[in-house]
């Protein structure tokens, strides 16, 4: 087994559900909202019918 990067270790430890060809669902235990870009980010989620 090849060694994993820190990113891979963190990503893999937060996977909730994974299906080939679909976006991976991750558990996010902390989200810091930046007030300059958060409206665009939430609009993008809404336009793509993604739930938070």
pLDDT recorded at residue 7: 97
| pLDDT value of position 45 | 92
Q: Where are the domains of the chain?
A: 6-47
Q: What are 3-33's pLDDT values in tens digits?
A: 999 999 999 999 999 999 999 999 998 877 7
The backbone region for 41, taken as left when phi is positive above 0, alpha when psi lies in -120 to 50, beta otherwise, is alpha
Q: Which residue has the higher pLDDT, 47 or 38?
A: 47
Average pLDDT over residues 37-50: 88
Beta strand extents in the chain (DSSP E only): 15-17, 25-26
At 42 the pLDDT is 87
Judge whether 28 and 15 are in contact, CB under 8 Å: no
Would you state the pLDDT for residue 49? Answer: 94
């Amino acid at each position: 087994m090849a060694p994993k990067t820190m990113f891979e270790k963190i990503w893999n430890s937060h996977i909730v559900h994974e299906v080939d060809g679909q976006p991976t669902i991750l558990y996010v235990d902390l989200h810091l909202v930046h007030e300059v870009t958060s409206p665009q980010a939430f609009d993008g989620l809404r336009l793509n019918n993604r739930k938070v």
